């Protein structure tokens, strides 16, 4: 897979799954723009790792939940790079509460960052993809399966996935491929947020995948890289599940070797 000469933007690209994606795209030869939320030090650290792979890295602070910040981020990308070839919508947030305890502020925060930001970023990104491009949205199994206290995120991811389908058709004539992926429980800090107090059960559920282990950031990054390559050209508007098969096997039936 060669992404040499491509310019990629990864929102939330400084840590966790986003970091793995940034590094994978860099390893493929892409220059990487790393959007981060608050921790500059973490973003700078990832940028240094990207640069070690022989490509350039640029960090931009922006809360993608704020439309004006999205605008400023793309103004900066346009000024610095002049174009964009790859956009990875990875930044996500959420409030871990049951549905009956969600207030309007929690709902808006989650929807703005996880769903609305994708639309607003694509509107700007598409204008910079003058020679076609690849767009990948990172979703989760919570869009279709239920997890405790995951309501706001799950619903936002369902909206994200619907947007993938609409955008895939609308942007196809411009040579832009739009796809998404729904990851199972990925070993990360974010997962801990939703399994606090029930670590044992969560670990059992997610680790007992038919594949015999949990999904890791590098697994997601590998799939993203494939969706950014020419090899995936005829995949459009799909949400590819990457979960080690756990969603196919009810809890307790998977028997890893």
Partner 1 sequence: MSPVEEKVKEIVIKIVRKPELDFTPTTTFKDMNADSLDIVQILVALEDAFDIEIIDEEMKEIANMGEFVAYIERKVAARKAA
Binding site for partner 1 (CB under 8 A): 37-40, 63, 95, 105-106, 109
The nearest distance, CB 38 to partner 1, in angstroms, is: 7
Two tokens at 69?
């910040």
- Compare residues 56 and 106 and give the one whose CB is closer to partner 1: 106
Judged by DSSP in three states, 58 sits in: strand
The residue assigned the tokens 């220059």 is: 31
Question: CB of 215: closest distance to partner 1 in angstroms?
Answer: 26
150 in active site: yes
Catalytic hit among 36, 52, 150, 166:
150
66 or 170: CB nearest partner 1: 66
Q: CA-to-CA distance for 122 and 189, rounded, in angstroms?
A: 27
- Give the sheet arrangement for strand 7-10, strand by strand: 57-61, 31-36, 7-10, 86-89, 133-140, 176-183, 239-242
Nearer residue to partner 1 within complex by CB, 145 or 193: 193
Q: How far is the CB of 39 from partner 1 (least distance, A)?
A: 8
In the residue annotation, 157 being an active-site residue is answered as yes
The alpha helices in the chain, defined as continuous H runs, are 16-27, 40-52, 67-81, 104-111, 117-128, 151-171, 189-195, 199-207, 217-227
Among the listed residues 157, 166, 194, 255, the single catalytic one is: 157
Of 95 and 172, CB closest to partner 1: 95
Report the b/e string of 90-104 with b at 16+ CB within 10 A.
Answer: bbbbbbbbeeeebee
Q: Closest distance between partner 1 and the C-beta of residue 94, in Å? A: 10
CB of 109 to partner 1, least distance (A): 6
User: Structure tokens of 26?
Assistant: 């860099």
Q: Which two tokens stand for residue 72?
A: 């400023």
Which residue shows structure tokens 């956009």?
A: 87
In angstroms, the CA 23 to CA 21 distance is 5
Of 93 and 208, CB closest to partner 1? 93
Q: Give the nearest distance from C-beta 103 to partner 1 in angstroms.
A: 9
Is-contact 71 124, C-beta < 8 A?
Answer: yes
Q: Angle of helix 16-27 relative to helix 217-227, nearest 10 degrees?
A: 50
CB-nearer residue toward partner 1: 53 or 72: 72
Query: Which residues are identified as catalytic?
Result: 150, 157
């Amino acid at each position: 897979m060669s992404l040499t000469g491509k310019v990629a933007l990864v929102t939330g690209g400084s840590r966790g799954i986003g970091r793995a994606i940034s590094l994978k795209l860099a390893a493929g030869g892409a220059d990487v723009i790393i959007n981060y939320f608050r921790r500059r030090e973490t973003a700078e650290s990832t940028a240094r790792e990207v640069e070690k792979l022989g490509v350039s890295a640029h960090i931009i602070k922006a809360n993608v939940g704020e439309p004006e910040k999205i605008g400023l981020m793309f103004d900066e990308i346009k000024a610095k790079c002049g174009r964009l070839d790859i956009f990875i919508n990875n930044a996500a947030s959420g409030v871990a509460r049951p549905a009956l305890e969600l207030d309007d502020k929690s709902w808006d925060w989650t929807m703005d960052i996880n769903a609305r930001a994708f639309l607003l970023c694509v509107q700007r990104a598409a204008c910079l993809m003058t020679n076609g491009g690849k767009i990948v949205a990172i979703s989760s199994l919570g869009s279709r399966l239920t997890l405790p206290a995951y309501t706001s995120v799950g619903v936002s991811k369902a909206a994200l996935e619907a947007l993938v389908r609409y955008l895939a058709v609308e942007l196809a004539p411009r040579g832009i491929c739009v796809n998404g992926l729904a990851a199972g429980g990925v070993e990360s800090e974010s997962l801990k947020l939703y399994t606090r107090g029930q670590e044992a059960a969560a670990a059992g559920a997610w680790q007992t995948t038919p594949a015999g282990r949990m999904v890791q950031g590098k697994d997601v990054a590998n799939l993203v890289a494939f969706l950014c390559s020419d090899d995936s050209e005829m995949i459009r508007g799909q949400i590819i599940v990457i979960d080690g098969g756990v969603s196919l096997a009810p809890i307790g039936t998977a028997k890893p070797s």
